Amino acid sequence: MQTRIEEELYRLVHGLPEKLPEGLGTVRFIVLTKSDPADLIRKSKTILEIVDSQALGDDWPTPERWLSLLPRWFIDACADELTQAEAQRWLARWEKLDDEQRRTEEIGKAWALADWLYWMEPERRSWWWWDCHLNDRCEIDVQVDEWPFPWGSLSWLLRAAGASEVMPEE
């Protein structure tokens, strides 16, 4: 039996198999970009292929190893790691924001590479690339086991690849 990661890697490289998604099914995300949507898809798939290939290996790479595996454009898009003092200041400020302010803040916030990789570790993954559609907008379907699910790592991947906004379809 293939794992979700093996199945995702197959879909990234070969397209959809002739089977339905497992779990809850799929959730569609609308992705807005001011750049080429096909390039955004290509970049996103490239990153996922690298992550999946490493996840199928014996050991999850060290932070230093990831720096040599991932493309420079993705690493450069990631935020710098916060010091403990910076993290405490950020948390104190975050706790004072209302829900709408938090959503607005989160939309534009870059993720640190270590934070993104944490959520991409196989035991923490909650979504898997299923399919994408380019028509008058970019639509990305991800396979999920439950709703709601943490999708910040998906949003950051797409924003690093060129998305200006990522939102679940209603």
Domain ranges of the chain: 4-168
Residue 138: predicted pLDDT? 93
Query: pTM for this structure?
Result: 0.89
Query: What are the φ and ψ backbone dihedral angles of 101, each rounded to 5 degrees?
Result: -65, -35
Cα–Cα distance for residue pair 49/8, rounded to 1 Å: 9
Q: What pLDDT is stored for residue 107 in this prediction?
A: 72
| pLDDT tens for each residue of 90-147 | 788 878 888 888 777 777 789 999 999 999 999 999 999 999 999 778 999 999 988 8
For the purposes of burial, counting CB atoms within 10 Å of the CB of 23, is it exposed (0-12), middle (13-18) or buried (19 or more)?
middle
Tell me the per-residue pLDDT of 46-71, one tens digit each, with 9 for 90 and over: 999 999 999 999 899 999 999 999 99
The pLDDT of residue 23 is 76
Angle at 141 between CA 170 and CA 163, to 5 degrees: 85
Q: Assign 1 a pLDDT band (cuts: 50, 70, 90).
A: very low
| Percent of residues, the chain, with pLDDT higher than 90 | 66
- Spatial distance between the Cα atoms of 164 and 8, rounded to a whole number of angstroms: 25
Q: What are residue 75's phi and psi, to 5 degrees?
A: -60, -45
* Cis preceding linkage at 148, omega within 30: yes
**For residue 46, what pLDDT is reported?**
98
- pLDDT over 60 at 2, yes or no: no
Phi, psi (deg, nearest 5) at residue 53: -60, -40
